[in-house]
Chain A
Amino acid sequence: MARYHLHLHNSIGFVRDEEGAEFQDLEEARSSAVDSVRSILCEEVEQGVIDLRGWIDIADPGGDLLASIRFAEAVELRLDGEES
């Protein structure tokens, strides 16, 4: 287990994760970031908005950036006029 900090950047601004959380590895932290993006998007969709301009930075306790998950990566977007 290791501690990762998941910092959120989106339309409401920057939300720093001071506390962090334990994950098995970076992969698990990544998958939690993806779940978080989806959960936030779900709530925004209920308010009639889809804003994919945010991202989550995954950092170690020393503050080094290990990965970034863009909101757009967390969902597959299918639009009218595209082949299904």
Chain B
Amino acid sequence: MIERHFARLRARDVVDAAEEEAIRSAISEIREYPADLTFIRAGELLHNSTLLLDGFMCRYKDLKSGQRQITELHVAGDFADLHSFTLKRLDHEVMTLTPCRVAIVPHDNLARITEEFPHLTRMYWFMTNVDAAVHREWELSLGRRSAIARLASLFCELHTRLKLVGLAEGSSFALPLTQTDLAECLGLTNVHVNRTLRELREKGLVEFQGGKVTIRNRTELANVGEFDPSYLYLDHRPI
């Protein structure tokens, strides 16, 4: 399953055998988490980073009223909290949305990588920069995009990210999230998400049913969402 992590890295730059071995041996254990588990709380002192092997998880922040804003979705192959290596305490929670399989990477082991593998260190720096770019794109969505454009852009983003790690078959991919999860990503209510999904379906752009997304017209979906994948930095070049 860690292959998905390597696929994500290797889409951007070469990872040699020694670097691959350094990553593999940095993992201290594999854990299984159930769905809807907040396994990192804001403010707690962290000693490990979590590499997602399988499933979907998210970063979120919430208000006292219980209203939650998901700030980024993580798919298999992502480090959910590589930034906790330097921050040690996060300003947000991290929660599983589906059952997840994760690899635990102690910060001490990451420290060793930074000392012995400068190129790999730059690659991980790059990856936290990509997370920041995703946050900026979501900020644009939440602040400025219409409901239909928010959803169109999110589906395009997920399609692109999942394809990279071999989890999209042509124009469809499994997305075992609820309407509420989507609403919390998009800053909308469930009813509004439901109505927007119907609009997208009626326009013949995309369908979301039974935990599966099927894109019917990728070009037009990207137009509606003003989706430009350049913020995902997918080009292969030396880092």
Q: Report yes or no: A19 in contact with B178, Cβ–Cβ below 8 A.
A: yes
A39 within 8 A of B: yes
The answer, yes or no, to whether A51 is at the interface (CB within 8 Å) is: no
Is chain B's binding surface mostly helix, strand, loop or mixed? helix
How long is the Cα–Cα vector from A56 to B147 in the complex, in angstroms?
19
Complex formed: what's the CA distance from A6 to B198 in Å? Answer: 14
Distance between Cα atoms of A84 and B31 in the complex (Å): 62
Contact partner, A43, options B146, B179, B180, B194, Cβ 8 Å: B146
Q: Which listed segment binds A: B20-28, B47-55, B132-140, B185-193? A: B185-193
Is B32 close to A, CB under 8 A? no
> Shortest beta-carbon distance, A67 to chain B, in Å?
14
Evaluate contact between A39 and B190: CB separation under 8 angstroms: no
B191 touches A33 (CB 8 A): yes
Measured between beta carbons, the chain B residues less than 8 angstroms from A35 are: 189
Q: Is B199's CB within 8 Å of the partner chain A?
A: yes
B112 contacts A by Cβ under 8 Å: no
Give chain A's interface secondary structure class.
mixed
Q: A70 vs B198: C-alpha distance in the bound complex, in angstroms?
A: 21
Give a binary string over B180-214; 1 marks a CB under 8 Å from any A CB, 0 the rest.
Answer: 10000000111110110011000000000000000
Interface residue tally for chain A (C-beta within 8 Å): 18
The answer to whether A49 has its CB under 8 Å from any CB of chain B is no
B195 lies within 8 A of A15 (CB): yes
State the CA gap A46–B179 with chains docked (Å): 24
Q: Which residue of A lies closest to B188 (CB)?
A: A39
- A8 with B191: in contact, given A15-B198, A43-B146 (CB under 8 Å)? yes
Cβ–Cβ contact A21 & B147, under 8 A: no
Task: For residue A44, give the distance in angstroms from its CB to the closest CB of chain B.
Answer: 11
Residues on B with beta carbons closer than 8 Å to the beta carbon of A15: 191, 194-195, 198
Q: Tell me the bound Cα distance from A36 to B180 in angstroms.
A: 13
A selection of 19 A-B contacts at a CB cut-off of 8 Å is A6-B194, A8-B195, A15-B191, A15-B194, A15-B195, A17-B191, A17-B194, A19-B178, A22-B180, A32-B189, A32-B190, A32-B191, A36-B189, A36-B190, A36-B191, A39-B188, A43-B192, A46-B146, A56-B191
For the complex with contacts A21-B190, A22-B180, A40-B191, 5 further pairs of A-B residues with Cβ separation under 8 Å are A6-B194, A8-B194, A15-B194, A35-B189, A40-B195
